[in-house]
Chain A
Amino acid sequence: GDQVEQSPSALSLHEGTGSALRCNFTTTMRAVQWFQQNSRGSLINLFYLASGTKENGRLKSTFNSKESYSTLHIRDAQLEDSGTYFCAAEANYGNEKITFGAGTKLTIKP
């Protein structure tokens, strides 16, 4: 069954505001990655986390493997942040397959 549940499916923000995206996992994951897919379809890796929190500019991500979730926080949103955000995770039982969530379509409005 689906192991990676991503929410919300769509989100609209005004420039300068912020919000959080979330992924819940139905099994124990050993690591999570977050990607942005831009208007040209390119998937850009934002974060790789095996645990804890990482920050890069206006983005911050947390992975809590014990409670089986990960979040991606966006602050001071800019127009170029529009796109679809995906989380992807590898289960802890070792077959190395990396499963993607369904994505969050983020629209930034002026």
Chain B
Amino acid sequence: NAGVIQTPRHKVTGKGQEATLWCEPISGHSAVFWYRQTIVQGLEFLTYFRNQAPIDDSGMPKERFSAQMPNQSHSTLKIQSTQPQDSAVYLCASSLERGSETLYFGSGTRLTVL
């Protein structure tokens, strides 16, 4: 079991470019969570999927952020027209099932927007 895999580990983009972050949950886990971590804001919830269906995206900045989970083996977080304030570590976590929501985190993607 390789754990939750996030790619890339680091991404540098120019202002206005698009960034796509990838997450592969632990095999057999039914839920995928996305969080963003900065020194100022701490760990912020972005969005959450259960059995590939979006459940709660209340933390997503509406205009430029989107997340998909096209199959049970991966989820993507896409940021369009990146801005310097999007710079953060983006963390993905998976959990097994409802009633057993122990979160297992990936190593994160450090996004730097110049």
Q: Which residues of A contact B (CB under 8 A)?
A: 31, 33, 35, 40-43, 45, 48, 86, 88, 90, 95-103
Any A CB within 8 A of the CB of B22 = no
Q: Is the CB of A48 within 8 A of B42?
A: no
- Give Cα A61 to B45, complex, Å: 23
Interface size range on B against A: 20 to 34
Mark interface residues in B37-53 (1 if CB within 8 Å of A CB, else 0).
00000110100101000
Distance to closest chain A CB from B49 (angstroms): 10
Count of A-B residue pairs with CB < 8 Å: 55
CB within 8 Å for A103 and B42 given contacts A48-B102, A90-B101, A95-B56: yes
- Give Cα A89 to B103, complex, Å: 11
A33: which of B56, B59, B103 is its contact (CB, 8 Å)? B103
Interface SS, A side: strand
CB-CB under 8 A from B59, the residues of chain A are 97
- Give Cα A32 to B72, complex, Å: 26
Give the 7 A-B CB pairs with smallest separation, nearest first: A100-B43, A43-B105, A48-B102, A102-B42, A97-B56, A95-B56, A45-B102
Q: Is the CB of A100 within 8 A of B42?
A: yes
27 intermolecular pairs with C-beta atoms under 8 Å apart: A33-B102, A33-B103, A35-B103, A35-B105, A40-B107, A41-B89, A41-B107, A41-B108, A43-B91, A43-B93, A43-B105, A45-B103, A45-B104, A48-B100, A48-B101, A88-B43, A96-B31, A96-B56, A97-B48, A97-B58, A97-B59, A98-B45, A98-B103, A100-B35, A100-B45, A101-B42, A103-B43
